[in-house]
Amino acid sequence: MRAAFIQRHGAIGDVVRVDERPEPVPSGGQVLIEVAAATVNPRDYLLVEGRYVFSILAGRLPLVLGSDVAGTVVGLGPRAVGFAVGDEVLGMQTPRGRFGGFAERVAIRSGAVARKPPALPFEQAAGLGVAGITALQALRDDAELRAGEHVVVVGASGGVGSFAVQLAKHTGARVTGVCSGGNVELARRLGCDDVIDYTTADFRERVRDADVVFDTIGRERLATVRPCLRPGGRYVTTVPTAGNTKDQAIGSTLGRLRRGAPRSRTVICKARSRDLQELADLAAAGELEVLIDSRHPLEDAAEALRRSKSRRARGKIVITIG
Ligand SMILES: NC(=O)c1ccc[n+]([C@@H]2O[C@H](COP(=O)([O-])OP(=O)(O)OC[C@H]3O[C@@H](n4cnc5c(N)ncnc54)[C@H](OP(=O)(O)O)[C@@H]3O)[C@@H](O)[C@H]2O)c1
């Protein structure tokens, strides 16, 4: 089968190849998916360049890139439950599952696969995995965001941020988005009550008494956003820096000793069918928009990775396969 893969780490243009790879064989509880569309995440170019923090879980090279897919079930492992050949699905592959999404077929454990509602196009379903799950789990589980609270989403136009804005509104929160001037209208359309253009203003000086700062860019840490937060406010980031990891440890100790201490958490997204299904059902009902930044055929996977590396994507970068 055709797939985009690396045999060594290096610059995208030097090491990403699209060529024949062995067919995956579904084992245990895996389902084999014929991929119609996949989407790119920053982890893909970080993996290419040897900078992805969890790449060690994937084991040895060569590795087929890609975590997020949508397609049709064409095979089942002996212990796969809940799916049948012919089902249209979306799935999220993990580093431990050795990635594998930028390919004609991928085997994913059934616990990280959900049914694609008929109304949801494949390319949109493929956009929900890592970015949607991260936004959902960060706001619900790490920030414990409640209706009526105020959340600041830093990076409101990106893959994670565009879902976070919409999911926060869906929870009933007030949302301030932070993005560049060219994305202000987009952030408003996604549901932001207020938008701060970071090229002309510093949100840390503009926002006060927020309940949550959700940082999808990773340039902040608890100390830098503290002036924006009310006592007991929460800072949640997607970027596991050493500083944020330290703040999380200190925050959980302080939280036990002193009520109302601010908290810092780094979300680590977990591939789960029920979260994928929740996102897919919201999207099919028109309550969650999957922004498509651009579309690229599998043969142009390197171009799609370069677009991700630019960090200018508005929503998801799609690789069309089937
Ligand atoms: N921990 C986890 O489990 C987990 C899961 C998923 C992602 N992540 C990480 O989370 C980060 C975001 O992922 P993503 O998929 O959302 O990335 P992305 O789609 O590539 O983000 C691109 C967006 O970032 C915005 N941006 C760039 N610099 C900005 C700044 N200084 N302030 C505000 N916005 C800025 C851009 O908007 P403008 O053009 O308007 O600047 C663009 O829309 C990545 O570092 C990724 O590795 C972690």
216, 164 contact by CB (below 8 A): yes
Q: Which homologous superfamily is 2-127+290-320 in? A: Medium-chain alcohol dehydrogenases, catalytic domain (3.90.180.10)
* Domain spans of the chain, in order of start: 2-127+290-320, 131-266
Residue nearest to atom 40 of ligand 1 (CA): 180
pLDDT, tens digit, 9 for 90 and up, residues 73-85: 999 999 999 999 9
pLDDT number for residue 256? 63
State the closest ligand 1 atom to the C-alpha of 267, by its place in the atom list counted from 1: 1
Can you tell me the distance from the alpha carbon of 199 to that of 202, in angstroms, rounded to the nearest whole number? 8
The C-alpha atoms of residue 106 and residue 101 are separated, in whole angstroms, by 6
Q: Residue 304 carries which side chain, given as an amino acid letter?
A: A
**Per-residue model confidence (pLDDT) at position 243:** 86
> What are the backbone dihedrals phi and psi of residue 264, each rounded to the nearest 5 degrees, phi first?
-125, 130
Ligand 1 centroid, distance to 159 Cα (angstroms): 7
**For the residues 122-141, what does the mean pLDDT come to?**
98
As a whole number, mean pLDDT of residues 37-63 equals 96
Assess whether the region 2-127+290-320 and the region 131-266 belong to the same CATH fold: no
Percent composition of the chain: helix, strand, coil (DSSP 3-state, to 5): 35, 30, 40
- Specify the amino acid at residue 247: D
Q: What percent of the chain has pLDDT over 70?
A: 98
Q: How far is the CA of 311 from the centre of ligand 1 (A)?
A: 7
Tokens of 265: 């958490």
pLDDT recorded at residue 254: 67
Instruction: Among 99, 141, 154, 157, say which to mutate for ligand 1: greatest number of ligand atoms within 8 Å of CB.
Output: 157
pLDDT-derived band at 115 (thresholds 50, 70, 90) equals very high
How does the average pLDDT of the chain come out, rounded? 96
Q: What is the DSSP string of 84-138?
A: -TT-EEEEE--TTTT---SBSEEEEEGGGEEEPPTTS-HHHHHTSHHHHHHHHHI
Q: Are strands 63-64 and 2-6 parallel, antiparallel or unpaired?
A: antiparallel
* 273 pLDDT more than 70: yes
| 161 close to 139: Cβ distance less than 8 angstroms | no
What tens digit of pLDDT does each residue of 146-166 get? 999 999 999 999 999 999 999
Q: Do 231 and 260 meet the contact criterion of CB atoms below 8 Å apart? A: yes
Cis peptide bond N-terminal to 227, omega within 30: no
Ligand 1 atom with the shortest distance to the CA of 219: 31
Q: What is the pLDDT of residues 2-15, one digit of tens each?
A: 999 999 999 999 99
Helical pair 273-284 and 129-137, crossing angle rounded to 10 deg: 100
pLDDT tens digits along 236-270: 999 988 888 888 888 767 666 676 778 899 999 99
Six token digits for residue 179: 């993005």
What are the pocket residues of ligand 1 if the criterion is a CB atom closer than 6 Å to any ligand atom? 41-43, 130-131, 134, 154-155, 157-161, 178-180, 183, 198, 216-218, 238-239, 267-269, 308, 311-314
- Superfamily of 131-266 according to CATH: NAD(P)-binding Rossmann-like Domain (3.40.50.720)
Instruction: Report pTM.
Output: 0.97
State the Cα–Cα distance between residues 8 and 17, nearest whole angstrom. 10
Say how far apart CA 244 and CA 250 lie, in whole Å: 10
Q: Which residues pair with 316 in a beta bridge?
A: 292
Phi, psi (5° rounding) for residue 274?
-70, -30
